[in-house]
Amino acid sequence: MSTTADNQKAGTGDNGGQVEPGAWLAVAAGTIGSFMATLDISIVNAALPTIQGEVGASGTEGTWISTSYLVAEIVMIPLTGWFVRTLGLRNFLIICSLLFTLFSVLCGLSTSLIMMIIGRIGQGFTGGALIPTALTIVATRLPPSEQAKGTALFGMTVIMGPVIGPLLGGWLTENVSWHYAFFLNVPVCIGLLALLFIGLAHEKMHLRELLNGDWLGVFGLAAALGGLTVVLEDGQRERWFESDMIIWLTVISAVGFAVLLVAQFISREPVIRLSILLDRSFGSVFVMVMAVGMILFGVMYMIPQFLSAIAGYNTEQAGYVVLLSGVPTLILMPAMPWLMQKVDVRILVLAGLSCFALACYVNMDLTIQSVGMDFVSGQLLQGAGLALAMLSLNQAAVTSVPAALAGDASGLFNAARNLGGSIGLAIISTFQERRMTYHTQVIGSSTTANSPLAQDYLQNMTHQLQSTAGGDAAAQAMGRLAQQVQEQALVMAYNDLFWIFGVIVICSIPLAFLLRPLPKGNSSPAMH
């Protein structure tokens, strides 16, 4: 993110490469904050069915518990640089950490859907600020020779948050209570505040910047990203443009983008400079990060859903399968600073995206008998892809723009990841339903009640049910056949989805050749 001259002097001045006292404490604070923010996306999703029941929300209403957080977060991420310039880094982080804790407590105490959504919106705004500011601390508190280590630490927490979330959320829901998915943030945030006070120096606020800010751009950014995220999250559920709500939100999003574009030309200092997207290298990074976001959030959503519907896994059991992708990430992340110095960044990105494509390929042969073990190779490949691609794209992005625009690059980089996740979830909700309908019709046409295969199945099943269940065995057998058809169609729909995500990744691979190599002798500078 963009930082003040005072910040830069405090952290990366001419100190001979020596790390100042408290610098690593500040880095630890930043990484803990970003980890909490990313964790709170997936940890709550794991407990969502239970939460919906306790706050009296229907399935459709309950989706706003997740959507409200994502909308607030994606709006806040690009605005963080502006707030840091006006409030100062430490002041801003302390405010956000305190509010994040208070909103987490509000969510944990919620007894109604409205109360929960208010808490989640607050969590999204304050948590969204904690993600990019972690890199600001790395850039301002560590000398260049140590920044690669700090960036690797940040990359690991951003990746591990969504990986650990489903397991931790499932375990708390199954063994303790869903309330602790929120209360868990309280002790962590107390430690975070202590680290911030010790590790970061106080900075003067520039509140006049709030009055002279690009409020037109702020409005356009909020309307554009907020409206687009809701459309992507709820489009399929609302039957897309058959819904007046989706139509109006699409119009609001389009107007927001138009206003944001106008603000680029008439504002003295735009809240975020979109012109950097025209840079060949950064524009390529933006698209590839969206593809990585689709995999990171999309596939991690699909696997627990598949294991629940087909293999009968509970949330905790599915969480262990998702956690497998964190193993190669933990192994590779410590080596990434060295790899960034020795290997061309384009090769690392190509290797990471290739791992994603292979992970999708090995998951395309699911059957109705598939269980958690069948996802092991795909999860390990995905974890390796995340470690290689995410940090490499981070470094490729920062070298694509001048230092003065690094804050805008950081905001767009992190927004692209979240936007990619929303697009991935929209693809899943849309194509899963449509492909399942298609496969149900195809299977059903070949297994009618008059077909020999169906007749043999019905006779055998009717005989078994007569000796065990009793009642109308013939009707029960017909119901079992219909259920088998539905399950087979669902499995085939998931195979189609993995194929779609694989194609998306493959189509993004050529963009890696447009990246610029890292400058020789550069110690993998952190985006700030």
CB-CB contact of 89 with 197 (8 Å): no
The pLDDT value given to residue 474: 59
Q: In this structure, what DSSP letter does residue 206 have?
A: -
Q: How far, in Å, CA of 318 to CA of 306, rounded?
A: 9
Percentage of the chain modeled with pLDDT above 70:
83
The pLDDT value given to residue 469: 57
Q: How far, in Å, CA of 395 to CA of 386, rounded?
A: 14
**CA 256 remoteness from chain centre:** 23
Average pLDDT over residues 435-443: 82
Joined tokens for residue 280: 């060949």
Q: How far, in Å, CA of 438 to CA of 78, rounded?
A: 40
The pLDDT value given to residue 402: 74
Q: Which one of 20-29, 446-455, 516-525 scores highest in mean pLDDT?
A: 20-29
What are φ and ψ of residue 110, in 5° steps? -65, 135
Distance (Å) of CA 327 to CA 160, 350, 355: 10, 20, 14
| 189 Cβ neighbours under 8 A, 6+ residues apart | 36, 97, 98, 100, 101, 104
pLDDT-derived band of residue 15, with 50, 70 and 90 as boundaries? very low
Q: Where are the alpha helices (DSSP H) in 176-272?
A: 180-183, 185-199, 208-211, 215-234, 244-266
CB-CB contact of 229 with 419 (8 Å): yes
Q: How far, in Å, CA of 372 to CA of 229, rounded?
A: 31
pLDDT-derived band of residue 230, with 50, 70 and 90 as boundaries? confident
Query: Pick the residue with more confidence: 14 or 304?
Result: 304
Among 234-248, 381-395, 470-484, the minimum mean pLDDT is found in: 470-484
Q: In this structure, what DSSP letter does residue 367 have?
A: -
pLDDT-derived band of residue 397, with 50, 70 and 90 as boundaries? confident
CB-CB contact of 143 with 91 (8 Å): no
Residue tagged 């994040």 (tokens): 100
Question: Which amino acid makes up residue 212?
Answer: N
Query: Average pLDDT of the chain?
Result: 79
Q: 165-182, pLDDT tens digit by residue?
A: 878 887 888 788 888 888
Question: Which amino acid makes up residue 12?
Answer: T
Joined tokens for residue 57: 């929300």
Joined tokens for residue 425: 């979830």
pTM for the predicted model, two decimal places? 0.77
Q: How far, in Å, CA of 26 to CA of 198, rounded?
A: 8
